[in-house]
Chains A and B, each alone.
Chain A
Amino acid sequence: KAGVTQTPRYLIKTRGQQVTLSCSPISGHRSVSWYQQTPGQGLQFLFEYFSETQRNKGNFPGRFSGRQFSNSRSEMNVSTLELGDSALYLCASSLAPGSGNTIYFGEGSWLTVV
């Protein structure tokens, strides 16, 4: 079956703009989480959604937001982009939160802020 699909794969934005990234989880998976990966900080948890509800949120400013739709697809939005937001944004899906369910990552969206 198809894996986690993230779009777009690459994008370049200007400081101050906003960006929306999309994630389609594996069919049947209802939990979606988002991570930011940078060379300096590694993989950092942004937030997790299950059944259209945000269950957990990492330590990121309010400029970072997300949502999940009834079909489990998820989007994340970053407003008022800063240079430091340049990163690989990874989406991961699992059947349900916790309990050691395996999470599967997408290939990520590379965001460059100039």
Chain B
Amino acid sequence: SQKIEQNSEALNIQEGKTATLTCNYTNYSPAYLQWYRQDPGRGPVFLLLIRENEKEKRKERLKVTFDTTLKQSLFHITASQPADSATYLCALRDTGTASKLTFGTGTRLQVTL
């Protein structure tokens, strides 16, 4: 069956450290993968998109990697800040499914002082 798995346990890290979140998928052939941030009671906010033929994407303190062999994407936040505390969702569009996005259940990140 198809699955997108993110670590369901919260990730607690200290301010200034690098947070690394994992997204693993099974039985998908993603055309691209996206990462979103969601704060409590709010809608998800788009952060980064990485396509199947790209290995890495960066945006300011954010970095995403995409390994189609391992079927995994890693999301890094460098020099993390308490304001980065939120739930982070990965989502992918499977080839041949138009624009339907399938989301993982998200990982909650807590950055402490």
Task: Bits for A57-83, please: 1 = Cβ < 8 Å to B, else 0.
Answer: 010000000000000000000000000
Instruction: Say whether B103 contacts A107, CB under 8 Å.
Output: no
Complex-state Cα separation, A98 to B95, whole angstroms: 10
**Chain A, 83-114, contact with B by CB distance < 8 Å: what is the 0/1 string?**
00000001010100110111111111000000
Q: Given the known inter-chain contacts A90-B43, A107-B43, A108-B43, please indicate yes or no for A43 contacting B99, CB distance below 8 A.
A: no
Tell me whether A42 and B106 are in contact (CB under 8 A).
yes
Alpha-carbon distance between A92 and B93 when the two chains are bound, in angstroms: 15
Complex CA gap A70/B36 in Å reads 29
Size bracket, chain A contacts? 20 to 34
Question: Which B residues touch A58, using CB under 8 A?
Answer: 100
With CB as the reference atom, state the residue of chain A lying closest to B36. A105
Contact B103 A56 (CB under 8 A): no
Cross-chain contact of A104 among B46, B89, B91, B106 (Cβ < 8 A): B46
Does B42 sit within 8 A of A, measured CB to CB? yes
Tell whether, in the assembled complex, residue A98 and residue B44 are in contact, meaning their CB atoms are under 8 Å apart: no
Are A97 and B43 interface neighbours, CB within 8 A? no
B32 on the interface (CB 8 Å rule)? yes
Task: Give the chain A neighbours of B46 by CB distance below 8 A.
Answer: 102-104
A33 on the B face (CB < 8 A): yes
Taking A43-B103, A103-B101, A108-B43 as known contacts, 7 extra A-B pairs with beta carbons closer than 8 A to each other, sorted by chain A number, are A44-B103, A45-B102, A48-B100, A56-B100, A90-B43, A100-B31, A103-B46
Interface residues of A (CB under 8 A from B): 4, 31, 33, 35, 42-45, 48, 55-56, 58, 90, 92, 94, 97-98, 100-108
Q: Taking beta carbons and an 8 Å cutoff, which residues of B are in contact with A?
A: 31-32, 36, 41-46, 49, 51, 89, 91, 93, 97-106
